């Protein structure tokens, strides 16, 4: 009797398995014809007993399910995530890699849809949705760590700081730097160095004769930016001690990494330690003596600790390297004008004696000389940024002090135009 029951059970399982195979085949056929609703209906019928199927049949089931889900998901994140789960399950079941090509094709199509949809979400400032889709893209294609990097950035923009920190921490654990190899060549007509998608593409363009001087170069590392962002997130979340601990660990492992020194400088600046900030930026300057941004940041730091003379020196060096550095042009003018407060104070403290009158005239001339000194910086800045209201207003006031009436009137008119004719 027991034997009969056992045989009957075997027959039942065989019958169910046959039925599942039939339904899965119908689903596969429906997928190929683009009838994804029919495919899902057939898969739903097979799903209740899929647990009893062998690994190959389960793999086929999840590939078919992932394909149908992908093609009915549109841009809906939850549905795209379900498709990802199906392909991941198919990969788990396929221990012998018998279905590697089918799984690879499915995940590739899913990845493309996720990334394209995430880009649209970014453009629409739907940062939370973009972050989720990019992260799912990473989970189905772990070699594409760059998706995790972009997911972290979108999570920051969505103000989901805990998630962003989780992603940045994972990137650091993986040792992600974002460094890639670029294949470049010089355009003969323009003299510009241009990158190519691949070495083969560059080779083809070199053969046309339009490009010369093929070179291979590495892109900049994102390691410092990732560390900086992680420490800033810890600070934002009120975990300053963890920010310091993370920075110390990273610096100990890579003491000469300039990007990490910059990251620490940013961190201590946010914490209000301007003295330490200047020390670190001086380290950066030793490694990058011709970087105008480094010199600019040193100037800002010097101003904030009250060393105006040093700030002016750094701004001047930055402008030697980058003469059209508008922010430096404005800031050096501000730094030089900071002496006005002391001059005016001294003028107001003077009496009416002959000696005081003489001193007053001397101070008045110093003030005029100061105005004349900053004028070229502000005028050049305005040429670069003609709609900068504050620069226009400052120039108008200086022209008044220097009795430059025509220029004063020009600036007054311009200011009225910029402020809407008020």
What domain range is 186 assigned to? 181-218
Residue 137 lies in a domain: yes
Residue 101 lies in a domain: yes
**SS3 category, 190:** coil
Give the tokens for residue 250.
């990273």
* Strands annotated E in 152-207: 181-187, 193-196
Give the tokens for residue 17.
């398995």
Phi-psi group of 254: left, alpha or beta (phi > 0 → left; psi -120 to 50 → alpha; rest → beta): beta
Residues 202 and 150 in one domain: no
Residues 198 and 141 in one domain: no
Residues 193 and 56 in one domain: no
β-strands 181-187, 211-218 pairing: antiparallel
β-strands 193-196, 211-218 pairing: unpaired
What CA–CA distance (Å, rounded) separates 25 from 61? 9
State the sign of the Cα–Cα–Cα–Cα dihedral 207, 212, 216, 217: negative
Residues 116 and 214 in one domain: no
CATH of the domain at 152: 1.25.40
Residues 112 and 30 in one domain: yes
Q: 10 Å Cβ neighbour count for 408?
A: 18
What CA–CA distance (Å, rounded) separates 149 from 145? 7
pLDDT at 17: 55
Of 218, 247, 282, the domain-final residue? 218
Of 156, 174, 192, the domain-final residue? 174
User: Which candidate, 244, 225, 253, 44, places its Cα nearest to that of 150?
Assistant: 225
Give the tokens for residue 319.
């402008």
Residues 29 and 115 in one domain: yes
User: Which candidate, 115, 198, 125, 121, places its Cα nearest to that of 157?
Assistant: 125
Residue 54 lies in a domain: yes
Contact 353, 401 (CB under 8 A): no
Residue 112 lies in a domain: yes
Residue 254 lies in a domain: no
Residues 111 and 38 in one domain: yes
Give the tokens for residue 320.
């030697």
Most distant pair of Cα atoms in the chain: their distance? 131
Give the tokens for residue 130.
């973009």
Residue 167 lies in a domain: yes
Task: Please calculate the CA angle 251-252-255 and round it to the nearest 5 degrees.
Answer: 60
What CA–CA distance (Å, rounded) separates 293 from 413? 34
What CA–CA distances, in Å, run from 380 to 158, 316, 324, 376? Answer: 38, 14, 8, 6
What is the number of alpha carbons within 13 Å of residue 367 lying toward its C-beta?
A: 20
What CA–CA distance (Å, rounded) separates 136 from 148? 9
pLDDT at 19: 62
What is the number of alpha carbons within 13 Å of residue 211 lying toward its C-beta?
A: 19
Residues 33 and 147 in one domain: yes
What CA–CA distances, in Å, run from 210 to 79, 182, 189, 199, 216? Answer: 47, 19, 7, 16, 18
Residue 15 lies in a domain: no
DSSP secondary structure letter of residue 214: E
Contact 46, 23 (CB under 8 A): yes
What CA–CA distance (Å, rounded) separates 41 from 47? 10
Residues 29 and 112 in one domain: yes
Contact 302, 310 (CB under 8 A): yes
Which residues of the chain fall below pLDDT 70?
1-20, 421-422
Looking at the 3D structure of the chain, how many domains does it have? Answer: 2
pLDDT at 263: 85
What CA–CA distances, in Å, run from 255 to 131, 258, 272, 277, 282? Answer: 32, 8, 22, 16, 15
Residues 87 and 65 in one domain: yes
User: Which candidate, 145, 70, 152, 72, places its Cα nearest to that of 114?
Assistant: 70
What CA–CA distance (Å, rounded) separates 10 from 15? 9
313 contact partners, CB below 8 Å, separation of at least 6: 299
Residue 145 lies in a domain: yes
Residues 54 and 121 in one domain: yes
Residues 163 and 202 in one domain: no
């Amino acid at each position: 009797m027991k034997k009969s029951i056992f045989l009957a059970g075997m027959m039942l399982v065989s019958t169910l398995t046959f039925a599942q195979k039939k339904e899965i085949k119908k689903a596969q056929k429906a997928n190929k014809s683009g009838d994804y609703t029919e495919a899902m209906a057939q898969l739903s019928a097979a799903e209740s007993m899929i647990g009893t199927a062998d690994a190959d049949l389960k793999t086929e089931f999840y590939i078919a399910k992932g394909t149908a889900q992908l093609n009915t998901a549109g841009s809906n994140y939850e549905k795209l995530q379900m498709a990802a789960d199906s392909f991941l399950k198919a990969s788990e079941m396929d221990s012998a890699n018998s279905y590697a090509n089918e799984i690879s094709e499915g995940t590739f199509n899913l990845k493309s849809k996720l990334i394209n949809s995430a880009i649209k979400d970014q453009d629409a400032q739907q940062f939370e949705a973009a972050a989720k889709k990019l992260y799912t893209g990473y989970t189905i294609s772990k070699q594409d760590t760059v998706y995790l990097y972009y997911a972290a950035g979108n999570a920051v923009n969505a103000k989901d700081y805990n998630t962003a920190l989780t992603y940045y921490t994972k990137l650091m654990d993986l040792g992600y730097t974002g460094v890639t190899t670029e294949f470049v060549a010089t355009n003969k007509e323009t003299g510009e160095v241009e990158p190519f998608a691949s070495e083969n593409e560059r080779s083809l363009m070199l053969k046309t004769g339009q490009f010369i001087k093929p070179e291979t170069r590495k892109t900049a590392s994102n390691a410092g930016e990732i560390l900086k962002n992680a420490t800033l997130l810890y600070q934002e979340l009120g975990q300053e001690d963890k920010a310091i601990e993370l920075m110390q660990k990273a610096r100990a492992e890579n003491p000469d990494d300039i990007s990490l020194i910059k990251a620490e400088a940013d961190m201590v600046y946010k914490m209000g330690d301007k003295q330490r900030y200047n020390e670190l930026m001086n380290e950066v300057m030793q490694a990058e003596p011709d970087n105008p941004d480094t010199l600019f940041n040193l100037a800002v730091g010097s101003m904030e600790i009250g060393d105006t003379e040093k700030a002016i020196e750094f701004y001047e060096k930055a402008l030697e390297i980058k003469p059209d550095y508008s922010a430096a042009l404005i800031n050096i003018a501000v730094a030089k004008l900071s002496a006005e407060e002391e001059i005016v104070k001294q003028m107001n403290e003077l009496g009416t004696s002959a000696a005081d009158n003489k001193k007053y005239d001397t101070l008045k001339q110093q003030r005029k000389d100061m105005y004349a000194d900053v004028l070229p910086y502000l005028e050049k800045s305005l040429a670069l940024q003609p709609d900068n209201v504050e620069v226009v207003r400052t120039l108008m006031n200086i022209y008044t002090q220097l009795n430059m009436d025509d220029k004063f009137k020009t600036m007054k008119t311009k200011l009225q135009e910029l402020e809407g004719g008020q």
